[in-house]
């Protein structure tokens, strides 16, 4: 799924790279790429399926709620958060994204954090809501599971 601002200053890409339907809380792993005002980051982020579905429903209702917001948090605390604010009378919705990539150097852990905000056209928000509804569909997930995943091949595209 690709979400881009009209001015080219913001872009969010979400690509499914793995899933775990056997977990107590079924989850999707999503390669998440964020570009905001010339800063960029990417990381593999796990999301609970129920959270993705709820977020999609919130996005679908966003236009009709003047001061509303749709919020998506990662399954791992503080790894990712996205808030999309209702467009109100505007033609664009404001998107605020935080992506944290953790890594180890020697014996120490470090976080690299990208925080950005950009405007998304309402049509892009509508498309995201439809895509998330498809990702939450049981038939789609069963088909995805039957394909299996070769994460390296997916990352090389």
Of 112 and 90, which is predicted with more confidence?
112
pLDDT score at 128? 93
Q: Which of 33, 17, 27 is nearest to 97 (CA)?
A: 33
Count of residues in the chain: 157
Laid out side by side, the sheet with 80-85 consists of 69-73, 80-85, 92-105, 108-121
pLDDT confidence band for 149 (50 / 70 / 90): low
pLDDT of residue 44: 93
Q: Show me where the domains of the chain are located.
A: 2-156
Diameter of the chain measured on Cα atoms: 51
Q: How far is CA 81 from CA 64, 100, 135, 157, in A?
A: 23, 9, 18, 25
DSSP state of 9: S
Task: Find the radius of gyration of the CA atoms of the chain.
Answer: 16
pLDDT above 90 coverage of the chain, percent: 52
At 155 the pLDDT is 40
Q: Which residues of 54-87 are buried (b: 16+ CB within 10 A; e: fewer)?
A: bbbebbbebbeeeebebebbbbeeebbbbebbbb
């Amino acid at each position: 799924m690709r979400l881009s601002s009209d001015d080219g200053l913001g872009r969010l890409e979400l690509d499914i790279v793995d899933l775990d339907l056997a977990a107590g809380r079924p989850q999707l792993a999503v390669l998440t790429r964020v570009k905001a005002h010339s800063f960029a980051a990417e990381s593999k982020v796990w999301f609970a399926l129920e959270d993705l579905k709820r977020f999609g429903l919130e996005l679908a209702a966003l236009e009709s709620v003047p001061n509303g917001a749709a919020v998506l948090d990662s399954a791992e605390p503080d790894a990712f958060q996205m808030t999309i604010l209702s467009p109100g009378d505007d033609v664009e919705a404001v998107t605020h994204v935080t992506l944290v990539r953790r890594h180890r150097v020697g014996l120490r852990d470090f976080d690299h954090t990208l925080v950005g905000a950009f405007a998304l056209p309402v049509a892009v928000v509508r498309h995201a809501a439809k895509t998330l509804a498809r990702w939450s569909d049981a038939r789609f997930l069963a088909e995805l599971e039957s394909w299996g995943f070769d994460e390296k091949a997916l990352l090389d595209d």
